[in-house]
Amino acid sequence: MIWRRLLVSGNHTIADLHYILQIAMGWSDDHLNRFTIHGKEYGVYHSGGIGFSDDPEMVQLADLQLRERKKFGYEYDFTDRW
């Protein structure tokens, strides 16, 4: 596992968080991705990838009612399971 601690404001969206993680990890956004938050999947659609029921540009982090130290998953590159 690789750990990074990032502080982002609640008015950022799921899409914003995805791109922030891409930059923080030095990735180039070449792979499929998804967040799992409170048992629901969110993500930025890539051609040929899985679809999501919510628009990642519209879901603000504050809407998810995340608290400090609350954990959620972010998977990038389904083949290598990053």
Say if CB 76 and CB 27 are below 8 A apart.
yes
Angle at 25 between CA 45 and CA 14, to 5 degrees: 35
Q: Is the pLDDT of residue 82 over 70?
A: no
DSSP 2: -
DSSP 64: G
Task: Please tell me the least confidently modeled range out of 15-19, 46-50, 53-57, 78-82.
Answer: 78-82
Which is higher by pLDDT, 11 or 68? 11
Hey, what are 55's tokens? 């628009």
User: Of 38, 39, 44, 36, which Cα lies nearest the Cα of 15?
Assistant: 44
